[in-house]
Structure 1
Amino acid sequence: MIERIEQIPITDTSYPFASAEKYCKLSQNGYEETEYYMYGTANVYRSVDKDERVEVATADAPYINRFVVRAPKNPKLCSGNVVIEIVNPTSFMEIDRMWILGHKEFVRNGDIYIGITSKPNTIKKMVEFNTERYGRLSWKNPNPEVPFSFKIEEALERNHVLPDLDISYETGLFWDMLTDLAWLIRSDEDENPLLKYSRKYIYLTGWSQSACYLFRYVNSFAYRPEVSRGGKVFDGYLAGGGVRSLVTPINQYESLKEYSFKLSRIEKVSEPFIAVQTESENGRYDSWRTMRSDSDNLYFKYRLYEVTGASHDTMYSYVDYYQNDPDLKRIDHLPEYIGKHEEGNDYPSQILFAAAYRNLFNWVRTGAGPNHCERIKVDAEGENCKDAFGNTVGGLRTCLLNYPTGRYNSTSNIEVGMSMLDPSSDKDGLFGYEEAFSSGMLKELYGTIENYRKLVTQDTEEQISKGFVCKEDGQELIELALELARKRGL
């Protein structure tokens, strides 16, 4: 239960962690960024079985969390869409990846964005960033006297994605925080920070580990009577980059629990759900083993887009967005490309995510599901099949792959010890790289830049007609393809 919402003042010296005002110039685009403390109590749950069923283990544990809001300054310009992101905590830093990938569409559409802290492991870096602003955040373990039934070293060895166990806090407080925030946003209560805005549709989104949180929430919570309250918590869902080999534990004490594979995907969903995967997840991280078919069934409204060319992290979404931020440098947490290659993967997956969000919003409003797209072809081991150019076959494609000027890889070579997922590996399976074709090869393939322009323009117009690229982004995609072609010698 949320007991109180308190706005956190923003000044020249005290502002939100990784503020989008700095990176996106929100105020120049008619938007404003605000931040709030969220005081309340939450239940901690435990699993009843290996599948989705849960029950209350500890009731009404107190917490103090935070969330950030980015919304039109003028409420009359609001679209009625509210997108709540489960902010990604994997790197021990708040990474609002779905905002990064979707903000251009949100801002031009007048959508409201909310990013909620989803795990207490990121609080340490926020406190280091600004102790006065974030020092009161608290996710205290309501039962700190109860030890883990395993050694933390064992958990780290078995699961490098979750090196964040701490007996002093409890990750399992999040489920009620999320539910209660969504219902508050729907309400007309005075505590609702969006009271002056239209709030017709509320969506849940999350990237990577946070997509796995989203899967678990839909499977284990969204349809519990005390959660749904005779209605629906969210009107639609968009999961990005979900690592299907990972099942989110219901609390940190269950970190080594054997769960059913069904919890790493969506089993049932009555609201529109779009999953967007990149080359990194579709094979290597077991998406091919947990594949679900597209459906318009009343109890399973689902689309899967597999973005060919993109790796889990890209230069745009993980490095360039942060603009070499001195604040992140100061706390020694500035995202960087660690591969040995000259060009990190910079496939423009943000253009395809913008269209995916638009398709989701239209699906919810009209009931008409979006087009289906081809799946990436994988071999018997789940590895991506390659064409004659060395690019992956199938999937959701753009002119950059249909008329390539280079090769897109989803894995990079790195120094041993630098991989978060496997410290013994010399490969980074989350951040790929690009290899340019030679000038001679490009001229043999396409002849002239004028001919290449015709080819990529025609291809992009086709993708726009299918709803996989927004019309507003078509020219940007064409110009990006032409820029790469010129740079590489066409």
Structure 2
Amino acid sequence: MNSRAININYKGARPAITGPISVTEDSYPFNVASRQYVPIEMASYGYVEEELFISGLANVYQWYDSGTIPATVRTPDVPYTTRFLLRRPAEPRNFSGNVIVEIFNWARNYDNPWGGWAESYEYLLAHGDAWVGITIRPANVVGLKNFNPERYASLSFANPLPPDERPPDSGAYPGPSSPLTENGLIWDIISHVGAIMRSNDSASPMAGYRVEYVYAAGATGGDLSAYVSAIHPLAVLDNGRPIYDGYLIKCTGVPGAINQSEPRMPPDDPRCQLYIDVPVIRVMTQGDILGRGFHPDWSWVYRQPDSDEPGKQFRLYEVAGSYIGIQYSLLSNPCEEDVAAAKGIWTGPFAVPEHEFPLQYIMNGAFANLDRWVREGVPPPRAERLATTGKYPDVAFELDEFGNIKGGVRTPYVDVPVATYTWNGRVIPFDDALLKKLYPSREYYVNQIIKHTGSLLRDRWVTEVDGEKIKRQAEQTRVP
């Protein structure tokens, strides 16, 4: 296969790119768009999709005991090989100038695009953005090799330390973790991939495309939060520009461990406050806040104030009524056959509830607002935090008369409700008697939705396209 070193203008690093990796009937990328749970043909959107391997040298960092921002190097120049998917417009003239680099979620031991593509692919494709998904976890490499041992034979996150020098695993990473591998290689990989997207080297997969801005996104157990605090200050190109222009982080409150041997940060450590020199937006669901159920991280204790101050540009959005595992995002899962081949944890089959909360609309608005914040300096809207009572660990949600939470990012789904939205994803439709009491006629209900959606649009919480979707959904909602 064709392998070429790329000058990425970053600390002398010259990672090698291999590919695009060939696709046949029997050998194709894991989580290729055409084999998602709901398949997508990229060509129908004017896009191409490629899988590439990246090999280079990464540092393993240390952070927990140093008390420093940023992290410092523990073990330098460790070889790695991983893969990434690239989806970009087929014609450079249709490219927006934005590249979204998403670090794949690894909660089910296979690559999942939660926190970017899964929620916002329709927005990204319509906007002309390029999207990249990176495999960042050794456990997911195991899944890839289960899926296709020959295709993914070269992928490696090998532990650089001799067996007698390997400290015990910190237990900070859920799922399988082996002393033979090192989770801490991921940070320079994230930096290298972002720098490759910016590189004007003819060997770059984005050669011929005018890349203006590169954003990082993901929902990855705190990895992106750790990158922002510990690594972003180091991730500066030779021309002085940061590799990433902004970050959109979905879910989780706690920064992940910096390597396989260190624990995560306690909530009172100032390094958990994500104030850096580029904008950061965090989107939290109701299911993230109190450390319950599917997501045990207590995002409540990692809250921080919003800021427009240069060097501290930050927004925290806690979305009332939303849940971490919306079914819409699962539509971008790999198909069941491929998950079985990877020996991952399948999450279907499933049916989308009639009134499922559409978190994707808030995510799309967050992407649009992040881009405008970076390009034009226009600050995004602010929202209250979700309403709670008590102190850690005895915190409870403050609910309204319908069982929906108060505060947070408000939408018509909780302000003009036809159902109760719980922290664990349950949607409890109102009975006919309550609906008739609240909404004397269908026309009245639809007009209320239109009014509240107008407020969302004026305040830039959602895009114009999604605002129209909310209105159309109201016209189809069963109201006696």
Same fold (TM over 0.5): yes
**1:379 aligned partner:** 389
Deviation at 1:27, TM superposition (A): 1.2
Name which of 54, 59, 62 aligns with 2:79. 62
Q: Distance in 1 between matches of 2:334 and 2:474?
A: 23
Task: Give the match for residue 115 of structure 1.
Answer: 133
What is the CA distance between 1:203 and its match in structure 2?
Answer: 0.6
- Is residue 73 from structure 1 mapped to residue 116 from structure 2 by the alignment? no
Deviations 1:280-300 (A, max 9, x none): 123334333222111110110
| Count of paired positions | 454
Q: Does 1:448 align with 2:460?
A: no
Structure 2 residue aligned with 1:91: 108
Give the one of 205, 215, 221 matched to 1:203: 215
1:25-46 C-alpha deviation (Å, 9 max, x unpaired): 2211111111101011111122
1:253 is paired with a residue whose SS is: coil
- Does residue 20 of structure 2 align to residue 16 of structure 1? no
**Deviations 1:384-422, CA, capped at 9 Å, x for gaps:** 2110000111111221111111111122xxxxxxxxxxx
- Is the 8 Å Cα contact of residues 336 and 346 (structure 2) preserved in structure 1? no
The correspondence of residues 73-472 of structure 1 with structure 2, limited to 5 A, is 73-97=90-114, 98-146=116-164, 148-150=166-168, 162-209=174-221, 212-224=222-234, 230-241=240-251, 243-244=252-253, 246-255=254-263, 261-266=269-274, 268-284=275-291, 285-318=297-330, 320-322=331-333, 325-333=336-344, 335-336=346-347, 346-380=356-390, 381-411=394-424, 432-472=425-465
Alpha-carbon shift at residue 326 of structure 1 (Å): 2.8
Q: 1:25 to 1:181 in 2, by over 3 A?
A: same
Amino acid across the alignment from 2:280: F
Q: Tell me the residue number matched to 1:36.
A: 52
Q: CA deviation at 1:174?
A: 1.1
Q: What residue is the counterpart of 1:426 in the other structure? A: none
2:141 maps to amino acid = I
Mapped contact 1:222–1:228 kept (Cα < 8 A): no
Q: Which residue of 2 aligns with 1:422?
A: none
Q: Deviations over 1:280-335 (max 9, x none)?
A: 123334333222111110110111111111111111113x3338543224445364
TM-score with structure 2 setting the length:
0.88
C-alpha displacement at 1:231, in angstroms? 2.1
| Structure 1 runs of 4+ with >6 Å offset | 225-228, 256-259
> Which has the higher relative contact order, 1 or 2, with Cα contacts under 8 A spaced 6 or more apart?
2
Answer whether contact 2:327 2:352 (CA < 8 A) is retained: no
* One-letter code aligned to 1:359: N
Alpha-carbon separation, structure 1, partners of 2:265 and 2:381: 38
| C-alpha spacing 1:226/1:309, structure 2 compared with 1 (3 Å) | closer
2:146 and 2:176 map into 1 onto residues whose CA distance is: 17
CA positional deviation for 1:437? 0.9
More helix by share: 1
Residues in 2 aligned to 1:25 and 1:357: alpha-carbon distance in whole angstroms: 23
Whether the 8 Å contact between 2:70 and 2:233 is mirrored in structure 1 is no
Distance in structure 1 (CA, Å) of the matches to 2:406 and 2:311: 31
Secondary structure of the corresponding residue to residue 33 of structure 1: strand
Name the CA shift for 1:108/1:443 in 2 (closer, same or farther; >3 Å): same
Query: Which amino acid is 1:333 matched to?
Result: G
The CA deviation at 1:338 is 10
Q: Following TM superposition, by how much is the alpha carbon of 1:163 offset from its aligned partner in structure 2, in angstroms?
A: 3.0
